[in-house]
Structure 1
Amino acid sequence: MVFNIQDSDERRVKTEFPRKVKKMEHVWIPMSDGAKLAATIWLPEDAEEHPVPALLEYLPYRKNDFTAIRDSIRHPYFAGHGYASIRVDIRGAGDSDGILLDEYLKQEQDDALDVLDWIVEQPWSTGAVGMFGKSWGGFNSLQVAARNHPALKAIITLCSTDDRYADDVHYKGGAVLASDMLWWASTMFVYNARPQDPEVVGDSWRDNWLDRLENTPPFVEEWLRHQRRDEYWKHGSVCEDYSDIQIPVFAVGGWQDGYTNAIFRMLEHLPNESKGLIGPWAHEFPEVATPEPAIGFLQEALRWWDHWLKGKDTGIMDEPKLISWIQDSEPPAVDYEVRPGKWVADDAWPSKNVNEKRLWLTDGKLAGEAKEGDTYLVPSVQQHGLYNGVFCPFGQPGDLADDQRLENGKAVVFTSEPLEETIELLGHPVLNVKVSADQENALLAVRLCDKAPTGESTMISWGMLNLTHRHSHEHPEALTPGETYNVAVQLNAIGQQIPKGHQLEVAVSPTYWPQAWPSPKPVTLTVHAGEETYVSLPVRTPQEGEENRIHFERPETAQVIEREILRKEKRTREVSHDLINGVWTLHDFSDEGERRLLSNGIEHGSVNRNTFTIKENDPLSARVQCEWELTVGRGDWQTKLESYSDMTSDETTFYLTNTLIAYESDKEVFKKTWKTEIPRDFV
């Protein structure tokens, strides 16, 4: 995960603001149980004479080093426009007290309520608070909003989800998300092991560090113990009762992000004043995101905050409920600097501008009419999916899906006739299919691609469903081999133009490595053509003059803090094939570089290596290995962490191994290995 700010000629850097800003470092916020959380606060110099509303960003990612660069361009900007902008490390992270035992615990929400209580009591506070964040901070903004603290008036949630089971890094469609479950757990495993700063907490840092090293668990163990949508995942999933959120929500994401599906659900179910914005972006704030066009998102955020926290008429509530970027068709590429397209406006979601178009799977094609009787055998090819790209792109080189001609020979593909006119899609494609399997446990993976007249195949959406979850993620049921079932596989939401003369491809397979952990045995699916087997496309009718309703300013930010680059970033992503042994391996390496922050002298760096291995015709050969090296230090105080995580399975059991090693000044001070076995539960 890279939190880096790239300098750009397109971004205006502001050094002067309407109100002069002061920065308060190492502020301690007391919790009701006696613990204290570490905060940095930017606010107008005259805020005690002229109190201001507050904005809270609440994260586990270490404000003094790991997110200091990104925080520097955003929080001073808000403060300069009349807000107290507050960055808090959650319990167990950074210099805050305690241990972080898992994601999104009730303790995390309770602490946030204590933080809100504290903010209201400050002499610089008007008592009105907004909350914002990307990813983890977007998740807990929603979760805290559902707790209904009277001071919290509105939130901005970016790249987040309302459903922790269906749309996060653990499971997708009821299948184990092999590409990310262990990777993200290994990430937090080593992130949580970083020490507090001796210059902030004093001599207690070492004892606290050893306590965290010993007692912070590998999160993957708990995640894998809950393979169905039980109470564990319902906690923190605001979709369980959208009515718990009674304040306006501004939901923001991008088509390359892994969390955009949630925006459509939230716009449908959250308070009417809520709004949505979807650009072409990866998992990042829109003022710095790739691919272009980036936008002046901080200005948009101010318009939102000024309306809800200051009572100003900024005009933002007169604008469309959903603004989204319809991407032009592009040849496949593993990264894009720019995605050409256009902004479109919808005043409601679901939108009256979007209608269903059906194409039936028949005669080996996508056709405008159904035909009964045909069946298509879909065998298991375990290496299918290696060129899919990553689940949640951060904008790094190599994140996106390659030309799907590399994959289509490993699946069964249905192709439409060339389109007679250009169409635009906005929303969720869905494959409705009558299907049978020859095993009790099976998976159905679906890709939707844009095929150019010259043959290139660009993946525009994908989805998958564990067929034992066909009725419920909470109560899975084994398949009866040979019995036919009608199932629906919802694909990721898209905003996409398909030009006249292009063709659509629907590819189906019972494997999708490494996105899905393989079913226990090789599976052959049978797709049954007919009236019930079709792809549903969300076709949007362009609206006359809608482009005149949308205007974004050029991106602007505060000045990024000074830093020295000690080691540059490097990314490689390679697929290898051992022809003799039939083994396929995806090597994903990311050296995220090393930096020294001139403001506090802290040096920090990270290196991550992930390996995904599978053997032809052998689903039980699947293996994920994740390795990390993190460094944090200053002068004579230097620490290093190494972690090694491994996941395999047999027909009945998952096997997990996690090892953590800590060094102080190159001397090993801690080493521990966690091993566990967890039964497979309909996956």
Structure 2
Amino acid sequence: MFFAYGSTRKIERLNKLVFNIRDNVNRRVKTDYPRSIKKWEHVWIPMSDGAKLAATIWIPDDAHDNPVPALLEYLPYRKNDFTAIRDSARHPYFAGHGYASIRVDIRGTGDSDGVLLDEYLKQEQDDCLEVLDWIEEQPWSTGSVGMFGKSWGGFNSLQVAARQHPALKTIITLCSTDDRYADDVHYRGGNVMGQDMLWWASTMFAYNARPQDPSVVGKSWKENWLDRLNTSPFVESWLRHQRRDEYWKHGSVCEDYSKVNIPVFAVSGWQDGYTDAVLRMLENLPHAKGLIGPWAHEFPEVAIPEPAIGFLQECLRWWDQWLKGIDTGIKDEPQLISWIQNSELPEVTYDERPGKWVVDHTWPSSNVTSQSFWFSKGKLARHVTDEEKMIIPGKQEHGYYAGVFCPFGQPGDLPADQRLENGKSVVFTSEPFDETIELLGRPVFHANVSVDQENAILAVRLCDKAPTGESTLISWGMLNLTHRDSHEHPEPLMPGRIYTVEIGLDVLGQQVPAGHRLEVSVAPTYWPQAWPSPKPVTLSIYSGAGTHIDLPIRTPRQEDASWQQHFERPEISEVMEKEILREEERTRNLIHDQVNDIWILEDYSDEGERRLLDNGLEYGSINKNTYTIKGNDPLSAYVTSEWDLKVGRGKWQTRLKAYSKMSSDETTFHLTNTMIAFENNKEVFNKTWKKEIPRDHV
């Protein structure tokens, strides 16, 4: 007998919002600008070692006579096909307002030379410094440059800022992190990210294998393609570094915040996986401002949930201030502008999250105070409780209703009603609140705990419980307890010994209405977010003074009311034309084989196929990820990721089929990655990588 939980509907990804932008009355498509522009395609930027990076530049017509500052977006995601539609929505906008807006393919991607061997290598940064040198020398350039980007482009904007190139005056970093180990898709709280480690590695495994365009680079494309196909999967390197070592410290600007000494505009959304970094940057970077909306992992002018904002206008205010020396008032505005979300019943997809904008002039904010709740006998109390031992057995399937770690705005991304999870954990519930409260910041969980194994996980969920019973996940966190004192130097646990631990949950901006309750749920499992401990774990938690959760309570300010109309209506430039060859589709189904107690989550995304009318390129992809575990058997956990990806034009067609699998026994992780490539339906490459990597306190 099987139970299927999920939905099937046409995917409404954020790039599709851009495709259909003309039909959205909330967004204005700009076609007239203060300066007329032109687009330079297939611009080659030479590197000192002889390699060339491929660039597209949108620039004012008169820039040679009237030089302009430059904006750089530096990505591995292929400017001529995969991000071409997205790029067309904002780069011309910046150019039309007096900037050279430059989109560069990182070495080893798109039409640029070489191969990409891993994320955020020093080579990537060094190349970018040479790109900045090149921009500075151009006759159309004033010599002042800003970098911007979302996700990878947000990461490398921060990393390059820390290299302190004199031409780089400011950055706008979206959906990024300052800490590659503690706050990315590989490890969280010292745990291997079961849902994301292999999926993201498999994504780059497939993406990196895409070829250069023969019509741009010539006959050399084939040799380079074979080199790209033969690149080792990134997951092998990521899994060899299971603790916070030099591998992860590289590219983590939190190692020395003082190196980022230029103005930083840090942006994210409450549904994004990288919101925590915004508040850390505000605390540690002297010239940083932050913006947090209700959004998923996307640019705020096209993001969902609504409200989207006129983010490109905000970018112009930022660029004009720091690159043109125009006083736009932005540097005098509050350090943090954020969206406090209204309480909503749980949904796996929200098109809109009602709420309000609030402002805090500094962060940490004097408007936010900490309030503690203590744990006892299923209750959250406002006073210290008597000490008692509460036993929490592990259920391996706990976590299947958590949603995805980093939502992109696809249907089904978000957590379901947490009553589906609560039976697999121990839940502590407050009394109904007498008045509405607002939470802004990071909840922190403190506890005295013991376990019966040398290796264990502690996962904590914070939920808003409605009077009608529904439970909405509003924050969560987890800790590999062998990392309780250090991510760099983990130590095994002594079974039965009581340890004092602290877990920072994800930051939030959330209203909790009068009459609602808060729930805190505790468990020693959280699959597939965390890879399971090697053996089943029973966790004990001890109430008393040391076991409590601190919540960040924000006092509303009268000034907040004046900011509700601060942002303008979203604007974008006119997007390039395309032809849809195959529509998009997504399903996300949870299956429980009750006879064998096997749980399977199947996450399928057909991102469709399209042809760009501008250059004739055709591209599309299908991705299926499967997460499997058997009740009471942590060693049964495994993940598979499959990709079917196409790029071509006319009589030149390429196709990639990639398969990745990750499993483990008590001592070892097992990895299998297979890449098969076709040119015009003829197989030209077939290779399998197999690797065994010892478990290191995970």
Which category of TM-score, normalised to the shorter sequence, fits these structures?
over 0.9
* 2:84 counterpart of 1:68: yes
Aligned to 2:74: 58
Letter in 1 for 2:693: I
Picking from 613, 618, 635, the partner of 1:620 is: 635
Aligned to 1:126: 142
3-state SS in 1 of match to 2:321: helix
Please say if residues 393 and 524 of structure 2, whose CA atoms lie closer than 8 Å, have aligned partners that are also in contact.
yes
Task: Render the CA deviation track for 1:366-398: whole Å, top value 9, x for unaligned.
Answer: 001111221110101000000000000000000
Picking from 648, 651, 669, the partner of 2:684 is: 669
3-state SS in 1 of match to 2:348: coil
Letter in 2 for 1:503: R
Q: Structure 1: how far apart are the matches of 2:26 and 2:558?
A: 29
Structure-to-structure mapping, 1:91-490, within 5 angstroms = 91-214=107-230, 216-271=231-286, 273-490=287-504
Please say if residues 319 and 549 of structure 1, whose CA atoms lie closer than 8 Å, have aligned partners that are also in contact.
no
Aligned to 2:652: 637
Task: Render the CA deviation track for 1:507-538: whole Å, top value 9, x for unaligned.
Answer: 00000000000000000000000001001100
3-state SS in 1 of match to 2:89: helix
Letter in 2 for 1:151: A
Letter in 1 for 2:682: K
Letter in 2 for 1:569: E
Q: 1 or 2 for the larger relative contact order (CA 8 Å, sep ≥6)?
A: 2
Letter in 2 for 1:53: P
Letter in 2 for 1:143: Q
Let me know the Cα RMSD of the aligned residues.
0.7
Percent identity of paired positions between Structure 1 and Structure 2: 73
3-state SS in 2 of match to 1:82: coil
Letter in 2 for 1:97: D
Q: Structure 1: how far apart are the matches of 2:476 and 2:621?
A: 31
3-state SS in 1 of match to 2:277: helix
CA shift, 1:549, in A, is 3.8
Please say if residues 362 and 370 of structure 1, whose CA atoms lie closer than 8 Å, have aligned partners that are also in contact.
no
Q: Structure 1: how far apart are the matches of 2:250 and 2:377?
A: 46
Please say if residues 14 and 303 of structure 2, whose CA atoms lie closer than 8 Å, have aligned partners that are also in contact.
no
Please say if residues 3 and 66 of structure 1, whose CA atoms lie closer than 8 Å, have aligned partners that are also in contact.
no
Q: Structure 1: how far apart are the matches of 2:60 and 2:362?
A: 37
Please say if residues 54 and 112 of structure 2, whose CA atoms lie closer than 8 Å, have aligned partners that are also in contact.
yes
Letter in 2 for 1:155: I
CA shift, 1:33, in A, is 1.0
CA shift, 1:3, in A, is 3.9
CA shift, 1:340, in A, is 0.2
3-state SS in 1 of match to 2:210: coil
Please say if residues 2 and 592 of structure 1, whose CA atoms lie closer than 8 Å, have aligned partners that are also in contact.
no
Q: Structure 1: how far apart are the matches of 2:195 and 2:468?
A: 31
Task: Render the CA deviation track for 1:433-471: whole Å, top value 9, x for unaligned.
Answer: 010000000000000000000000000001000000000
CA shift, 1:313, in A, is 0.6
Please say if residues 256 and 393 of structure 1, whose CA atoms lie closer than 8 Å, have aligned partners that are also in contact.
yes
Task: Render the CA deviation track for 1:88-122: whole Å, top value 9, x for unaligned.
Answer: 00000000001100000000000000000000010
Aligned to 2:6: none
Letter in 2 for 1:532: G
Please say if residues 14 and 304 of structure 2, whose CA atoms lie closer than 8 Å, have aligned partners that are also in contact.
no
Task: Render the CA deviation track for 1:320-352: whole Å, top value 9, x for unaligned.
Answer: 110000000000000100000000000001000
3-state SS in 2 of match to 1:517: coil
Q: Structure 2: how far apart are the matches of 1:363 and 1:381?
A: 20
3-state SS in 2 of match to 1:545: helix
CA shift, 1:2, in A, is 6.5
Please say if residues 258 and 392 of structure 1, whose CA atoms lie closer than 8 Å, have aligned partners that are also in contact.
yes
Please say if residues 48 and 123 of structure 1, whose CA atoms lie closer than 8 Å, have aligned partners that are also in contact.
yes
Structure 1: gaps of 5 or more residues: none
Aligned to 2:555: 541
Letter in 1 for 2:337: I
Could you state the TM-score of these two structures normalised by the residue count of structure 2? 0.97
Letter in 2 for 1:494: L
Structure 2: gaps of 5 or more residues: 1-12
Structure 1 residue ranges (4+ consecutive) displaced by more than 2 angstroms after TM superposition: 1-4
Q: Structure 1: how far apart are the matches of 2:361 and 2:302?
A: 27
